[in-house]
Amino acid sequence: MATAAAQANPASMDARSWDEASYRRGILRSRDLSSRNLFRAVFFDHSDDSDPDVVLAAASSDGSLASYSLSSCISAASQGEAAVALVDPVCIVQAHRGPAYDVRFYPDPQQPLLFSCGDDGRIRGWRWHEMQSCLVPLSVQGDHLEPALDLVNPQHEGPWGARSPIPENNAIAINKQDGSIFAATGDACAYCWDVETGKCKMTFMGHTDYLHSVAVRESNRQVVTGSEDGTARIWDCRSGKLTQVIHPVKNKAFESSWVSCVAIDASESWLACGTSSGISVWSLLSNECIFNLDCHAPVQDLLFDKNQILAVGAEPVLSRFTINGTVLSQIKCAPQSTFSVSIHSSGMAAVAGYGGLVDVISELGSHLCTFGSRGLDK
């Protein structure tokens, strides 16, 4: 028996109006959105910015780089009944072929740049003001902007002139003081690039497996790398030489643990390492381990917030610790696995991860909004 809806609209029963291609595209688009990952979301947070709106930039597993207005995201979340608001970005570009793994701001007062890196072995710098003042309709965005800087990792030469594949960039760090970008790559090396010339200034070699993370210690002109080989290493940026090897996990049961993320506090006196088994904090002044803390899941990102540590990982939780390892709070997050955490000067935090989700949390622990992006319509 025909339903009332079908009787009211007989055309809906006509198979001749069926668009198989459109149906398939819709299914693929829905599947793509649900399986997307946001590997990094960062705040554009500069005191000399005249725009009162808070803006985030996010790097996605589909290779896109997008910016979002926080006020628009909060508005969309408050108007809808769904737990997750699906929002349009202010601007979106196809930044990389393959996943985009990291994104960082280069705070130039005249022309701030947004740097991204990805699986294609490139570091690209995008003019931030161009992204924010884009007049191209969202439906045709993607290839409408050209990067201001395009850096490609070097290839290693083997026997008979054969060259290795271009290694991926897993993370980048900015040193505005001397105009450098540091890249943690898949060939077990870290590279230092000059922003002005676009040339590779130095290569740091010594790890035995690929690198996950990199952080800069500007006052001592050092860089810290974390690797799949289970070590964090400190390098002299002037000579390129290794100055210290840190083994964050002392428990023999976790000797094969990798170092997934590293962070240095504002005073540049403390180093925090996130591993497959927990968190390890070291004094950079005395070269001593302050504490090792076992966690329920691998730690995938962490940062210092004044004298405290924020950490996220392969569980839907944002954890806050004291410098001595005491747990202060644990807040449930929307992404089932969280790849990054960023902090704004106002105290709010943004976590990003699986499902292409961003959860913005206030300083007091309340959820301001949870949103996902429609991404590039391929």
pLDDT band at 2; cut points 50, 70, 90: very low
> Which one has a higher pLDDT value, 67 or 22?
67
- CB of 356 closer than 8 Å to CB of 372: yes
Q: What is the pLDDT of residue 133?
A: 83
Q: What is the pLDDT of residue 7?
A: 47
- The tally of CA atoms less than 13 A away on the side-chain side of residue 345 is 7
Q: What is the pLDDT of residue 122?
A: 97
Plot region of 28 (φ>0 → left; ψ -120 to 50 → alpha; else → beta): alpha
Average pLDDT on 273-280 reads: 93
pLDDT band at 253; cut points 50, 70, 90: very low
- Average pLDDT along the chain: 87
The counts of H helices and E strands in the chain are 4, 29
Task: Compute how many other C-beta atoms are within 10 angstroms of the C-beta atom of residue 129.
Answer: 12
Average pLDDT on 1-5 reads: 44
Residue 73 has pLDDT above 70, yes or no: yes
User: How is the chain split among helix, strand and coil, in percent rounded to 5?
Assistant: 15, 45, 40
User: pLDDT digit string (tens) for 154-170?
Assistant: 987 777 777 878 999 99
Among 52-56, 127-131, 144-148, 350-354, the range scoring the smallest mean pLDDT is: 52-56
Q: Tell me how far apart the alpha carbons of residues 351 and 368 are, in angstroms, rounded to a whole number.
A: 12
Q: What is the pLDDT of residue 231?
A: 94
pLDDT band at 134; cut points 50, 70, 90: confident
User: pLDDT digit string (tens) for 77-107?
Assistant: 888 766 787 888 999 999 999 999 999 999 8
DSSP-derived 3-state class of residue 371: strand
Q: What is the pLDDT of residue 3?
A: 43
Query: How far is CA 38 from its chain centroid?
Result: 7
Q: Tell me how far apart the alpha carbons of residues 254 and 69 are, in angstroms, rounded to a whole number.
A: 42
All residues at 6 or more sequence positions from 331 whose CB lies less than 8 Å from its CB, including other chains:
317, 318, 361, 365
User: pLDDT digit string (tens) for 301-348?
Assistant: 999 998 999 999 999 999 999 998 999 999 999 999 999 999 999 999
Among 132-146, 207-221, 348-362, the range scoring the smallest mean pLDDT is: 132-146
Q: Tell me how far apart the alpha carbons of residues 76 and 189 are, in angstroms, rounded to a whole number.
A: 43
Tell which residue, 299, 226, 310, 231, has the closest CA to residue 265: 310
Q: What is the pLDDT of residue 105?
A: 95
Q: Tell me how far apart the alpha carbons of residues 291 and 248 are, in angstroms, rounded to a whole number.
A: 9
pLDDT band at 4; cut points 50, 70, 90: very low
All residues at 6 or more sequence positions from 365 whose CB lies less than 8 Å from its CB, including other chains:
329, 331
Q: Tell me how far apart the alpha carbons of residues 229 and 277 are, in angstroms, rounded to a whole number.
A: 14
Q: What is the pLDDT of residue 221?
A: 95
Strands (E), 46-179: 55-60, 64-69, 85-87, 91-94, 100-106, 113-118, 122-127, 149-152, 169-175
pLDDT band at 13; cut points 50, 70, 90: low
User: pLDDT digit string (tens) for 222-250?
Assistant: 999 999 999 999 999 999 999 999 998 76
Q: What is the pLDDT of residue 36?
A: 85
CA angle 187, 189, 190 (to 5 degrees): 130
Residue 6 has pLDDT above 50, yes or no: no
Both ends of the chain: CA-CA distance in Å?
39
- Alpha helices, H only, the chain: 4-8, 20-35, 70-79, 128-132
Q: Tell me how far apart the alpha carbons of residues 228 and 307 are, in angstroms, rounded to a whole number.
A: 28
Residue 8 has pLDDT above 60, yes or no: no
Average pLDDT on 109-130 reads: 93
